[in-house]
Structure 1
Amino acid sequence: MASHRRAAPRWAVAALVTGLILVVAVTTTAVGGFLLLDRWQRAVPQEELLDPADQPPTPERPASPRRRPAPAPEGAGDPVTGPLNYLVVGTDQRPDNPGQAAFADAIVVVHIPAGLREAYLVSIPRDLRVDIPGHGTDKINAAYRVGGGGAEGVSLLADTLYDLTGVTFDGAAILDFAGFEAVVDALGGVEMCLTRSVRSIHTGHVFPTGCQRLRGAEALDLARQRYDLPAGDFDRGRHHQQLIQAMVAQARSEGLVTNPIQLDRTIRAIGSAVTIDTGGVALPELVYALRQLRPDRMTGITVPSYSQRIDGISYVLAEPAATTLYQALRDAQLHRWVEDHPEWHND
């Protein structure tokens, strides 16, 4: 039984979390600061992606037993506290085929502990064999598709994850390939420095050793490579982390915050990349609450699992350690779990 250590593609959650960080970076650095928050509020699509019954409680709507009660605000000016759990879905939807319900190409639970200074990115293997409520046993990435995609697909995926892990969510987000490329292009490209050359299995292009500036399509292509790399997905994970840091560095550059045309283009690009369900929290409040979250404070975790063929179909099955991971996630004790299970820490 071979251990399954392949991390789910992290470019999707990287771009989403980077999107929020970019909002903070640009907003808090630019002249006028929070005058930009209204533009972000209007630019980033917000939609109720989770079933209303699973949303955080309000005075008018008592807490659902499937929801972790929302923490009380600490006071005016700091209304968002942790721990927080967000479901991030990266889809394989393509602009040239918008009518087809997509599979979930990446499924990540973003856990932000109390203090909101760090994040744990728990990658759910796309081929994980699970029971999808009302649809029988299948790979977990099918939940988004059989749910119809969009809000309905996210809701069914959240239900599937709840049944599997007992974890509830404070919000959710969807990100697509085209949007990711648009953000990088709007930033004017990013600089990546590679310790070895990487050949694209998709285009044949060779990314040489050393530093180079990449446009959106090139950055996405590099982020998707894992074949021919010594450590496979783990090398790919390092490239993702580099890419996040490069995007944030570019967003914080003086050129962006002093160029109103490029700034507006970046705002609109991030809006095209991400659809967010903030769980009823105003986006400016969420952005401000996450202002101290940085890429070097993100810890990647893969659900302990292994590959196995069942009736001729390749699945991923959870190892016993997955149960302790789910418990640590529910109890907001992931820092201890990572210490005890370093082999599943993929950064």
Structure 2
Amino acid sequence: MADGQSGGRPREGTPEYEWLYGSGGNRGPQPTEPRRRASGHEDEATRLMATGGDDAGLYPAPPPQQPPQGRRRAAPPPRTPQGPPVPPPGPPPGRAPGRPAAGAPRRRRRFPVLRVLLLLLVLWLVFLVAVPIWAWNNVERIDAMPTGDRPGDQPGTTYLVVGSDSRAGLSEEERRTLGTGDVGGDRTDTIIMIHTGGGQPVVVSFPRDTVVDLPDGGSSKINAVFAEGGGGDAGAQYLVQTIEQNTGIRIDHYAEIGMGGVAQVVDAIGGIEICPEDAIKDDGAHLDIPAGCQEVDGTTALNYSRARCSKNGPPECPLVRSDLDRVQNQREVVSAVGSTAADPLNVLLPWRYVALNKAATSFIAVDEQTNVVEAARMGLALRAIGGGARNCTVPLADSSAESWDETRSTALFEAIASDETDSITDDLCTATGLEP
């Protein structure tokens, strides 16, 4: 090149190359010094550097300086997609930091509460079982089943329940209150036979003045058979044998309830309701009650079942009551006792439960074959008198209640012995024993 210098550099004074080599003689090209980066929040890697010369904005900013080793900045907190960084969770309101949550101790205490409830339930079940077993030890045992000629085994179960006029176990004050008098010997003024089996339960009452044949010959009123047999075990055997001989029905279990037992049981369950059709006044039984339904205590309930006076009687007993009405009153009392005793309160209230079991076993005697289970079944049978059972009086020839209607009584007893109680017709089972 003619106008070039050695080494390829243009000669001085050539203006068209000054943009590349600059002016100033022989000095070499001097790069533009980058300005210091301004403080701000722009991205340093992409921000263009502003300069004061003509070159402003032509060069990108240099990469940011790396922080010294050993002084690394902490990682920024995570950002949510649409908001600022999420702060770490703090303690719930009302609780200081580091304090355990209020729910944790309660969850731990729940198990002791459940254990306590379970323990109370177990103790309650033990109580329900232990009280009858304890009370059962007070029950007197009687060798009531006779030996010798008896009806064979029959389907179903037949109970003979006897209400004794025995004064044994009663104090002088209790005898005066109950109006027992000084009658000697033991009489069974209440005799009820209960049969349960495959059919409907049947209850048969025997009026106290009914005349029956005795096993060793002769005859007697049925309420005197127990005493004629000698009372106690012998009297019970004699009565069972007499009933079996006259009915053809085998007696499986025997229960004898003393006079004081009825009154104490009624008081233990808080009284019963009776509904006499007429007002009754009986000085001998210490009874004076109006007609209609009413709540009575144990003494009144017992005297009601024993009263023999009603309206339209002679002057010495202005209200003479027939034996048939008395039988119905006895069934009414037994039914009310069974229904009221089944009230859940008599189980849920401990004092009632204890009093009921104690009273029910203090004046009762059962045969030696009756255990706790059989006694419970007998109680259910007594409860059936109030509902679900056929309530009958042994078929009678007339209102004197001294003799049976042979045809109807035989048919009734055969149906019971064969456990075909559903076949018993209304003419065989009546409340008074008289033919409808």
TM-score where L is the length of structure 1: 0.68
Residues 1:319 and 2:414 are matched in the alignment: no
Residues 1:106 and 2:190 are matched in the alignment: yes
Q: RMSD between aligned alpha carbons?
A: 3.7
Change in Cα spacing, 1:137 to 1:342, as seen in structure 2 (3 Å) is closer
Change in Cα spacing, 1:316 to 1:237, as seen in structure 2 (3 Å) is closer
Residues 1:41 and 2:136 are matched in the alignment: yes
Structure-1 residue corresponding to 2:160: 87
Structure-1 residue corresponding to 2:373: 284
Q: Distance in 2 between matches of 1:290 and 1:251?
A: 10
How far apart are residue 275 of structure 1 and its match?
0.8
How far apart are residue 159 of structure 1 and its match?
1.6
1:164 to 222, 235, 246: 246
Structure-2 residue corresponding to 1:23: none
Judge conservation of contact 1:85–1:111 (CA < 8 Å) in 2.
Answer: yes
Provide, for residues 257-299 of structure 1, a one-character-per-residue CA deviation record: whole Å limited to 9, x for no partner: 3433332222111112321126x35323552686585331232
Change in Cα spacing, 1:125 to 1:285, as seen in structure 2 (3 Å) is closer
Provide, for residues 117-164 of structure 1, a one-character-per-residue CA deviation record: whole Å limited to 9, x for no partner: x53221223333333123523223332112111211111112222222
Judge conservation of contact 2:287–2:300 (CA < 8 Å) in 1.
Answer: no
Residues 1:261 and 2:351 are matched in the alignment: yes
Moved more, 121-130 or 247-256: 247-256
Q: Distance in 1 between matches of 2:415 and 2:216?
A: 28
Select the structure of larger CA radius of gyration: 2
Q: Distance in 1 between matches of 2:242 and 2:326?
A: 28
Give identity over the alignment, percent: 26
Q: Any unmatched runs of 5+ in structure 2?
A: 1-122, 169-174, 176-180, 313-320
SS at match of 1:264: helix
Amino acid at match of 1:188: G
Residues 1:303 and 2:394 are matched in the alignment: yes
Residues 1:130 and 2:212 are matched in the alignment: yes
Amino acid at match of 2:185: A
**Alignment length (residue pairs):** 288
Moved more, 189-198 or 37-46: 189-198
Amino acid at match of 2:373: P
Amino acid at match of 2:353: L
How far apart are residue 328 of structure 1 and its match?
1.9
Judge conservation of contact 1:37–1:284 (CA < 8 Å) in 2.
Answer: no
TM-score where L is the length of structure 2: 0.56
Q: Distance in 1 between matches of 2:222 and 2:325?
A: 25
Q: Distance in 2 between matches of 1:298 and 1:105?
A: 22
Change in Cα spacing, 1:296 to 1:316, as seen in structure 2 (3 Å) is same
Q: Distance in 2 between matches of 1:138 and 1:156?
A: 12
Structure-2 residue corresponding to 1:207: 289
Q: Distance in 2 between matches of 1:198 and 1:109?
A: 27
Equivalent residues in 2 for 1:1-347, closer than 5 Å: 31-32=124-125, 33-51=128-146, 53=147, 66-69=150-153, 83-95=156-168, 100-114=184-198, 119-134=201-216, 136-192=218-274, 197-200=279-282, 202=284, 205-209=287-291, 211-225=293-307, 227-228=309-310, 239-240=329-330, 242-253=332-343, 255-277=345-367, 280-287=369-376, 291=380, 294=384, 295-306=386-397, 316-320=402-406, 321-343=408-430
Amino acid at match of 2:250: T
Q: Any unmatched runs of 5+ in structure 1?
A: 1-29, 55-64, 71-81, 309-313
Change in Cα spacing, 1:160 to 1:181, as seen in structure 2 (3 Å) is same
